[in-house]
A and B are shown apart, each in its own frame.
Chain A
Amino acid sequence: MTAIAVAAVAVYLIVLWMALFLFGGRTIDNAFPEALQQTVNALSIGAIYALIALGYTMVYGIIELINFAHGDIFMLGAFMSVVFIGGITGHNEAVTDIPLLIILLLGALLFSMPIIGLLNAGIERAVYRPLRHAPRLAPLITAVGVSFILQNVALTIAGSGDRKAPQIFPLEWQIPVGGAQISILSIFIFLLSMVLMIALQTFVSRTRLGRAMRATAQDQEASALMGVDANQTIALTFMIGGVLAAAAGVVWGLRFGFVRFDLGFNSGLKAFTAAVLGGIGNITGAVLGGFIIGFIENFSAALGYSRWSEFLVFVILTLVLIFRPTGILGQAAGDRA
Chain B
Amino acid sequence: MTATTAVPPAAGRFRSPRARLQAYAIRHRSATIVVSMALITVAMIILPQVPPLSLIQRQSSWFDTFANAGVFILLAMGLNVVVGLAGLLDLGYAAFFAIGAYTYAYSNSPFSQQDLPFLPMLVVGAAVAAVFGIALGAPTLRLRGDYLAIMTLGFGEIVPIVFLNLDKWTEGTNGIGGIFRPEPLPIIGEFSALSPFAYYILMVGIVTVAMILLYRMQDSRIGRAWNAIREDELAAAANGINTVTTKLLAFAIGATTAGFAGVFNASKLTIVSPEQFLFAVSFSVLAMVILGGMGNIWGVAAGAFIVYLIQVVVLKGLNSMVEGLGIPVLDKINFVDYQYLLFGLALVFMMLLRPEGLFPSQRRRRELHIADELAGPIDEPGVIGALGEAPGSADEFGEAAGEDVPGRDR
Contacts and interface: CB of A to CB of B under 8 A. Distances in A.
A/B contact in complex, CB under 8 angstroms: yes
Interface of A: 60, 64-66, 68, 127, 130-131, 133-138, 140-142, 144-146, 148-149, 152-153, 155-156, 265, 269, 272, 276, 307-308, 310-311, 314, 317-318, 321-322, 325, 333, 336-337
Give the interface size class of chain B.
35 or more
Contacts of B150: 66, 269, 272, 317
Interface string B351-382: 11001000000000001101100100000000
B250 to A, nearest CB: 14
A145 B154 contact: no
B343 A269 contact: no
Nearest 5 Cβ contacts at the A-B interface: A149-B344, A148-B344, A145-B347, A152-B341, A145-B348
B279 interface: yes
Given A127-B348, A134-B390, A152-B338, 9 more contacts: A135-B367, A135-B370, A135-B391, A136-B392, A141-B89, A152-B340, A276-B147, A317-B151, A321-B143
Given A135-B392, A310-B157, A318 B352 contact: no
B347 A140 contact: no
Interface stretch (B56-64, B323-331, B393-401): B393-401
Contact of B351 (A142, A155, A307): A142
Contacts of B343: 148
12 contacts: A131-B352, A133-B371, A135-B391, A140-B145, A141-B347, A142-B348, A145-B344, A145-B351, A149-B345, A269-B154, A314-B155, A333-B398
B82 to A, nearest CB: 11
Given A141-B286, A333-B396, A336-B397, A153 B146 contact: no
Nearest to A150: B344
B85 interface: no
Contacts of B370: 135
B337 interface: yes
B161 interface: yes
A145 B370 CA distance: 22
Contacts of A133: 371, 374, 390
Interface string B139-169: 1100101110111011101100110010000
A265 B89 contact: no
B392 A66 contact: no
A325 B371 CA distance: 29
B355 A138 contact: yes
A148 B154 CA distance: 16
Contacts of B283: 144, 148
A141 B393 CA distance: 14
Nearest to B153: A269
B249 interface: no
Interface in B259-305: 279, 283, 286-287, 290
Most buried by A among B161, B287, B390: B390
Nearest to A266: B157
A16 B22 CA distance: 68
Contacts of A131: 351-352, 371
B386 to A, nearest CB: 10
A310 B158 contact: yes
Contacts of B348: 127, 142, 145-146, 149
A276 B367 CA distance: 30
A100 B86 CA distance: 58
Interface in B60-103: 83, 87, 89, 91
A264 B292 CA distance: 29
Contacts of A136: 145-146, 390, 392-393
Given A134-B355, A146-B348, A66 B146 contact: yes
Nearest to A64: B146
A137 B290 CA distance: 11
A183 B157 CA distance: 33
A137 B294 CA distance: 11
A333 B142 CA distance: 13
B157 A314 contact: yes
Contact of A156 (B87, B91, B337, B397): B337
